[in-house]
Each structure stands twice: as structure tokens, then as C-alpha cells.
């Protein structure tokens, strides 16, 4: 039984319980994402990529010219919507709280390596289950890697690993990432895509490849805002889903994650988007070991940073300046991933993808083993 006492005015009252934080709330949010992700594919997004935080952050890095991989350049409105939707929810429910100062450089590095690992697999945890729900068997190895990486992360957590405390700070600090995202949206309006042109003003666009395949701007933005709003309320987190089960045998977040994959599978069947197999899957390769290895790195980095890439966006929207640094780390990591030839393609891993995964894992182990001091 949870009672809530409000001290203000000396009266005590029970506040309206946050429905989305209940079991049916998180299942509902997972189901809604499971409906809209395949629909976004029908409305124009790449196959098995209705929503992919890693891929879309990577496309944003391309749109900004931080890498020049011609096939993956688009300012994805879904990502902008995630952050701004969360911001709106946080203000509507008085949960916006500017905070920062919990090992930002570590979060930046974890964000960068999480992105590199995800791009070796070709997807974040969201896309891993969307690929599975679309019939891509290679996703199984990615999901196993994700579970493995998170499991290693829980060993560090049990051993006392922590990132230290954040501090309450000026409201403007919490607004910076939402403002950056808003700025990106404005750039899309000022410099809209021109048919057949690779550049419009300062923004890069793809003429072919996944970056050229996208739902209409407003559709993407509205779905992004909706998911951002609901995910902020429900604390939806794919990494937390697996971590909490491994660490505490708690199934709360896991139910949301399972709802996502089950509903996405059903919607794919209805829409005729289910194509089972391992070879020639869209925006995927079939080098199982590195599908696994890439996601071990990503899973460990997410676990050490305390949230999946989606959750980091939602936290950024509610004022978490440290999560915002993780997001920027991901975008910069995407720049490195393509400039250095670390990212995979449908042909397989990039020329330097394997050493990058190994360096990333060593970096995560260094962080995990050395940040174990008790919190004061």
C-alpha cells in the first residue's frame, strides 16, 4: 500500500497515482510503441526501423555533416519528438527537474561506445526487437549480446559501481538539450529536403539508402512526441527491463519490452511486413559473432550509464543534463563510427569495427572496475 502525504499547508491527501507507472501502464506504453513503430515503416521509414534510437541519432549526425556517409543523412524528427514529448510530459506533471554533474565525461564516452557497438550490430535495443518482430533472425544474436552485456553491467553494479550523485542546478541547464533538438527542428523547416539534392542550406540529406527512406516530417514528429510523452510517464527503458530482471528478478519494465515485441510482431503480420529468415534482411548483416559482440558492448555501456538510448532521450527531456551528455556522446560516436569505418553495412562489419568493439569493451571494463568507491 502506498500512501502519499503532502506536507504543504499541513493537510495530507492521496495524490492521483501515476497510471503509467503501473503494470498495465507500462504494458500499454510498450504496446503503443509496438503499434506505431511498424506503422512508421508503412508510412515511409526503413524496414524493421520504424523507430531506432541508434540509427536515427546516426542519421542526425549525418544530417549535420559530422560524418559523410551519403546513405545515412537525415534529421530524424522522431528523436526530436522523443525529447520534446518528454519535456512536455515532465512540465505537465511537474516532474521537470534540472540536474547535472554525475560523471558527465564518463557518460559521454559510454554514449560514444554504446553507439559504436550498436552500429556494429546495426540497431539499438528497440530496433533489435523490431528486427525480431519483422522476422530477422540475426536479431537473436544481437539480443543475446545485449543480455550478456547488461549481465556484465549488473556484476559491476553489485560490486559497488556507481556514477556518483548529480546536483540540482539551474533550470536552463535542463533546457539545453531540448533547445538543441528544437533548433534541429527549426533547421528542418528553414532548409527542407530538396528532391534529388544532397544538401539544403546547412543540412545534409540522403538521395538513396536508409537516410532517404522516411515517413513525412509531421507524421514522424507527432508519433515521436506521443512516444516521448508516454515514455516519460511510464519510465519505459529496454536496458532497465533486462537489468531489473537480472538484478532483482523484477518484471515491471520487462513487461513493457515484451509488449512491444509481441504487438509489433502482430502488427507486422497484419501489414504483411513479417519476412522470416537470416539472409538479405533489411539494413542488417549475418555475421552472428559480431551481431552478438556489438550488442555486448552496447548493452554494457547502457547498463553502466543507467539507461537505454531511448531512456537517455526521455531523461534529457525532463532536465537530466547528464543523460543529455550521453545523447551528445552517441551523436559524436556515430560520427566516429562512419568516419573510421567502424559501422557495419549489409555486407558485414566495417574494416575497423572489430578492434573498435574490443577497445570499447576494455574502456567499459576500465570504467566499471575503477568507479566503485562508496557514495558519500
Q: Among 59, 54, 83, 57, which residue's Cα sits nearest to residue 69? A: 59
Q: Which is nearer to other proteins, 7 or 208 (CB)?
A: 7
Q: Is 306 one of the binding residues for other proteins (CB under 8 A)?
A: yes
Interface pick for other proteins out of 11, 195, 218, 375 (rule CB under 8 A): 375
Residues 6+ apart with CB under 8 A from 148: 292, 295, 296, 299
- Kindly report the backbone phi and psi dihedral angles of residue 366, in degrees, each rounded to the nearest multiple of 5, phi listed first: -60, -45
Question: Least distance (Å) from other proteins to the CB of residue 306?
Answer: 4
DSSP track, 174-232: HHHHHHHHHHHHHHHHHS---TT-SEETTEE--SSSGGG----HHHHHHHHHHHHHHHH
341: phi > 0 → left, psi -120 to 50 → alpha, else beta; which? left
Q: Which is nearer to other proteins, 250 or 370 (CB)?
A: 250
* Segment interacting with other proteins (CB under 8 A) among 3-11, 56-64, 115-123, 191-199: 3-11
Near other proteins in 310-339, by CB under 8 A: 322
In whole angstroms, give the CA distance from residue 43 to residue 252: 31
Interface pick for other proteins out of 4, 171, 197, 370 (rule CB under 8 A): 4
Q: Which residue is listed with cell 561506445?
A: 113
Question: Least distance (Å) from other proteins to the CB of residue 152?
Answer: 15
Near other proteins in 222-241, by CB under 8 A: 235, 237, 240
Q: Are 305 and 326 in contact (CB under 8 A)?
A: yes
Contact flags string 80-109 toward other proteins, x per CB under 8 A: -------------x-x-x-x--x-------
Q: Please report, as ranges, the residues that interact with other proteins according to CB under 8 A.
A: 1-8, 18, 21, 93, 95, 97, 99, 102, 157, 162-163, 165-168, 235, 237, 240, 243-244, 247-248, 250, 252, 306-307, 322, 375
Amino acid at each position: 500500500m502506498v500512501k502519499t502525504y503532502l506536507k504543504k499547508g499541513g493537510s495530507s491527501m492521496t495524490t492521483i497515482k501515476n497510471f503509467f507507472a503501473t503494470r498495465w501502464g507500462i504494458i500499454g506504453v510498450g504496446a503503443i510503441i509496438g503499434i506505431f513503430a511498424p506503422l512508421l515503416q508503412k508510412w515511409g521509414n526503413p524496414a524493421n526501423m520504424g523507430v531506432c534510437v541508434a540509427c536515427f541519432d546516426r542519421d542526425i549526425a549525418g544530417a549535420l555533416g559530422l560524418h559523410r556517409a551519403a546513405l545515412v543523412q537525415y534529421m530524424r524528427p522522431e528523436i526530436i519528438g522523443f525529447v520534446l514529448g518528454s519535456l512536455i510530459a515532465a512540465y505537465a506533471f511537474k516532474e521537470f527537474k534540472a540536474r547535472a554533474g554525475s560523471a558527465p565525461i564518463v557518460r559521454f564516452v559510454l554514449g560514444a561506445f554504446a553507439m559504436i557497438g550498436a552500429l556494429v550490430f546495426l540497431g539499438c535495443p528497440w530496433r533489435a526487437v523490431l528486427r525480431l518482430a519483422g522476422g530477422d533472425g540475426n536479431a537473436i544474436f544481437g539480443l543475446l549480446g545485449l543480455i550478456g552485456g547488461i549481465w556484465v553491467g549488473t556484476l559491476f553494479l553489485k560490486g559497488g559501481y556507481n556514477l556518483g550523485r548529480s546536483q540540482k542546478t539551474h533550470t536552463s541547464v535542463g533546457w539545453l538539450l531540448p533547445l538543441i533538438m528544437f533548433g534541429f527542428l527549426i533547421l528542418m523547416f528553414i532548409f527542407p529536403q530538396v528532391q534529388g539534392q544532397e544538401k539544403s542550406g546547412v543540412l545534409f540529406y540522403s538521395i538513396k539508402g536508409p537516410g532517404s527512406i522516411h515517413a513525412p516530417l509531421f507524421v514522424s514528429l507527432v508519433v515521436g512526441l506521443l512516444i516521448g510523452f508516454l515514455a516519460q510517464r511510464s519510465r519505459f527503458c529496454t536496458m532497465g527491463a533486462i537489468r531489473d530482471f537480472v538484478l532483482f528478478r523484477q518484471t515491471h519494465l520487462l513487461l513493457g519490452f515484451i509488449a512491444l515485441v509481441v504487438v509489433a510482431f502482430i502488427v507486422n503480420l497484419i501489414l504483411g511486413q513479417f519476412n522470416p529468415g537470416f539472409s538479405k534482411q533489411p539494413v542488417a548483416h549475418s555475421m552472428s559473432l559480431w551481431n552478438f559482440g556489438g550488442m555486448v558492448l552496447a548493452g554494457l555501456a547502457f547498463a553502466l550509464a543507467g539507461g537505454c538510448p531511448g531512456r537517455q532521450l526521455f531523461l534529457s527531456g525532463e532536465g537530466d543534463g547528464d543523460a543529455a551528455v550521453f545523447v551528445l556522446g552517441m551523436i559524436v560516436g556515430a560520427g566516429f563510427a562512419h568516419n573510421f569505418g567502424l559501422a557495419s553495412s549489409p555486407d558485414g562489419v566495417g574494416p575497423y569495427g572489430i578492434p573498435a568493439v574490443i577497445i570499447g569493451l576494455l574502456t567499459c571494463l576500465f570504467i566499471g572496475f575503477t568507479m566503485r568507491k562508496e557514495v558519500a
